[in-house]
A and B are shown apart, each in its own frame.
Chain A
Amino acid sequence: MSADLEQFYEVFFEESSELLAEMEARLLGLDINAPDPEDLNAIFRAAHSIKGGAGTFGFTDMTEMTHMLESLLDKLRKGEIEIHSEMVDTFLKAGDVIKGQLAAHRGDGTADGDADAIVRSELMRFSEQASEPARVDTETATAPTDLAKHTLNETEPTDIIHSSDSGTASGTKDDHYEIAFSSDGIGQKAMDNLLSNLNMLGKLEMLSHIDGEQCKLRLTTGLDEEDIWEALAFIVDPSQLTIEKQPLPVPSKSVDAHYSVPDQTSSPTSENAYEIEPENVESTESKSAQPYGFFPDAPAAPKESDHTKPDETSSKAPESPKPLTEPANSGLAHKQAKSSTSVNESSSIRVSIEKVDQMINLVGELVITQAMLAQTASEVDPVLYEKLNSGMNQLERNTRDLQESVMSIRMMPISFVFSRYPRVVRDLAAKLDKKVELKTVGESTELDKGLIEKIADPLTHLVRNSLDHGIESPEKRVAAGKIAKGTITLRAFHQGGSIVIEVGDDGAGLNREKIIAKALERGIPVHENMSDQEVWMLIFEPGFSTAEKVTDVSGRGVGMDVVKRNIQSMGGRIEIDSVFGVGTRITIRLPLTLAILDGLSVAVGDQMFIVPLTYITESLQIKNTDIKTVAGKGRVVHVRGDYLPVIALHEVFNIKPSSTNLEDGILVILDAEGHKAAMFVDALIGQHQVVIKSLEKNYRRVTGVSGATIMGDGTVALILDTTGLVMASQKAST
């Protein structure tokens, strides 16, 4: 293990972010009235792990904050103080502060010093509320388990989760630890850092020269073994590290008597225990099982091992050469523990997105090659080349499977996005004095990572909108005969080749009259006969807001148009269903991935173009009588009561078409951002799923073209920039 700390920074940042996210999720899920001890433990462990890492890297601000958090959590977990909602709020804030600090250390943004100070003082206040009498109670209550754990300390150090004197009860029960590790490959800077870290934990004595092969230190501290372990884990190769506790007589008489017995029996075996090194077994275990993680697993050890271990050791302790099954057992127990607590973690690897994209590209190539082969093979006599044909069929199947599974690598469950909304809803509901429950359905629905990143902002906006405009205040709800608590439902599911995300609320619903009135006010052409659907779509107009007053949450009218534009830029669509007084549901339809687009291929002259399917409403042939001219030049067609400008693709791209007569070709009716136009092409060829390739990467932006794709025969076809074309036609015709 190299000593250069820099290389661990990135891992630390990533893991810390994950831990923070977990912490937040657990906090939000916490039932204040009956907190689940497992949740409290998990939150504590997250804070603790971050503290350990931050300490090693010398991020003192993070260490201090997490330490305060940890102390308070420790008391909570032991039942010394009661949790209340105010405390959860502070914890959440603390999480934000740590997030900020993390970002600052990462080099983007600066930590918010004010928030830091506020959270600190709040944590301090809660901490002081934990009164001394309560302490005594719990101390006696936990004494028996305490004892059992101390018996264990000699032989099974890592299986002890935080023995209850960790962190908080500083100075009361100082223990001596003998730490031995190989200083091989540890740089001077790292070593200094390490020693100063240890010094912070307690009183440090050097038992050997630190430049020697084997470093021996003695640490007197109130912290438990695991804290020391964590302080060292980043720098010292775990297999080279041993930490041994040297118990001191504790000046408490009643406990002392019980204490001395296991101590004496096990002290002759301490040499043996040293050689067996349960530590070693544990650490190699964790290393092999989890090559990408680096927080020690010890905190994740389950309670069950606590229950089982005392009997096991107490029966085996007297036997002086310890049987080898013991450490093996502990490894096994540990493994089981891990598989039950973090299945996902141990079975996943981190791969850079570029590698995945490269793989997707290669598979895309393979699919094209396969299509080319299939085309060639289809020309030979199927009777004579039966084997070739069956081989081709198999190749096709395999390529499709391969493509699907490679694509699925980029897929992530939508819970990555959904998980942030409990917090948003909670904060906002408190701010607006509304009672809101957030329900999420279909969190495991997968979609492309690129989409996940892009969908988050629009969704946040929709959720905030639902909360602000949709859900009424509790009084109004009760008056309307609804239950006081409103519900916002986030739902995700697959439908056909697309993913559907719904944001629904059981709030007031959209007010048709109000929207129409507002539209008239703003000079948007509306009439009474518009369908509800059309009326609802008006709220996506720029600057449109029916809110009576502008708040800092919403009402400025910016947003919904941005939401719509964002969704459309992802190749998706947005729809609204609403019933006045009952609720609103906004439905977003997205393609499964950004890299693939459903398109209609059209021919103009000898060229082929792809039109994104999401923009096409219909395609039709037209009679000459429906074609009108405006001012002698601008051609419009009369389709279903509307006069639509004509985009003649051959004129836009200077191609010689097979016919310039609109009657001979086909009109594709496009609808982009509410503007309609009819595009004239020679013929429709077919519908394809095409892989989007960048034209700009090696060339430059071309007007009217949004990208390119490679067709089955290996040729390049351009994908039309529908919005751009329609907008250009609007400009030309008005």
Chain B
Amino acid sequence: MSQQQTLTQPETAGNAPTVNTNEFLTFRLGSEEYGIDILKVQEIRGYDAVTQIANSPDFIKGVVNLRGIIVPIIDMRIKFRLGNTDYDQFTVVIILNVSGRVMGIVVDGVSDVISLNMDHVRSTPEFGSVIDTKYIMGLGTVDERMLILVDIEKLMASDDIGLIEQTLN
């Protein structure tokens, strides 16, 4: 987590030189609310039919054509084992640009863009082996709601997704 902070700090320093804030795009997965660094987000679009890729993990839905680029689509609900994986009119795909690679994540809906003071972000409590907290930067609070901040770079680089080479981080 601390590594990620040092990475993103210089980028936001220009916007808020005195206060240590980061902007996050928040989205819903089931009943939980998540946030990712807005600078990693390229665009948001609806869910389209994908072309399946054989022998890939179940959370990789397949690939789509994004204006001529082949982009893999990852269903975060399957990845985080959140049960309900219906695709309806609210299902959106957030197109991310992480370390030069373009990919899409399927979420239940996008809510807002918020600024968070990084000093107010609480570190993730340890859940032992029950939940893997490796990819969680911390927990933020917005109007009484809890926001789970995902370290998307680490997540995409993880062994089972393997979309980014580890060495890049």
Contacts and interface: CB of A to CB of B under 8 A. Distances in A.
Interface of A: 361-362, 364-365, 368, 607, 652-655, 693-695, 697-700, 702-705, 708, 710, 714-718
Contact of A607 (B52, B55, B63): B52
Interface stretch (B17-25, B66-74, B127-135): B66-74
Contact of B71 (A698, A700, A702): A698
Contacts of A705: 53-54
Given A607-B51, A715-B51, A700 B162 contact: yes
B67 A365 contact: yes
B168 interface: no
Given A655-B52, A697-B101, A702-B55, 20 more contacts: A364-B68, A368-B65, A607-B52, A655-B54, A695-B70, A697-B70, A698-B70, A698-B72, A698-B101, A699-B70, A699-B103, A700-B163, A702-B53, A704-B54, A705-B54, A708-B51, A710-B70, A714-B65, A716-B50, A716-B51
Nearest to B104: A698
Nearest to B97: A698
A708 B66 CA distance: 13
Nearest to B60: A699
B39 interface: no
Nearest to B66: A698
B64 interface: yes
Interface residues of B, number: 23
A368 B66 CA distance: 12
Contacts of A716: 50-51, 62-65, 70
Nearest 7 CB-CB pairs, A to B?
A653-B54, A716-B51, A699-B72, A710-B65, A708-B70, A365-B68, A698-B102
B22 to A, nearest CB: 25
B49 interface: yes
A363 to B, nearest CB: 10
A493 B70 CA distance: 34
Contacts of B65: 368, 710, 714-716
Interface in B46-103: 49-56, 62-65, 67-72, 101-103
Which of A652, A699, A708, A715 has the largest count of B CB atoms less than 10 A from its CB?
A699
A376 to B, nearest CB: 16
A682 to B, nearest CB: 15
Nearest to A650: B54
A654 B54 contact: yes
B57 to A, nearest CB: 11
Contacts of A654: 54-55
A718 B51 CA distance: 8
A697 B54 contact: no
B103 A652 contact: no
A361 B103 CA distance: 19
B55 A717 contact: no
B54 A702 contact: yes
A644 B69 CA distance: 37
Contacts of A693: 68-70
B81 to A, nearest CB: 22
Nearest to B50: A716
Contacts of B51: 607, 708, 715-718
A362 B51 CA distance: 22
B141 to A, nearest CB: 34
A676 to B, nearest CB: 23
Which of B52, B65, B71 has the largest count of A CB atoms less than 10 A from its CB?
B65
B46 to A, nearest CB: 14
11 contacts: A362-B68, A364-B68, A655-B52, A655-B54, A693-B70, A699-B63, A699-B103, A699-B163, A702-B56, A708-B63, A715-B49
A97 B57 CA distance: 55
Given A693-B68, A708-B63, A698 B54 contact: no
Contacts of B55: 653-654, 702-703
Contacts of B52: 607, 655
Contacts of A710: 65, 68, 70
A361 B68 CA distance: 7
A697 B69 contact: yes
Contacts of A715: 49, 51, 65
A607 B53 CA distance: 10
Interface string B20-52: 000000000000000000000000000001111
Contacts of A717: 51
B49 A698 contact: no
B53 A698 contact: no
A717 B63 CA distance: 9
A364 B54 CA distance: 26
Given A654-B54, A654-B55, A698 B162 contact: no
Given A653-B54, A702-B54, A716-B63, A694 B68 contact: no
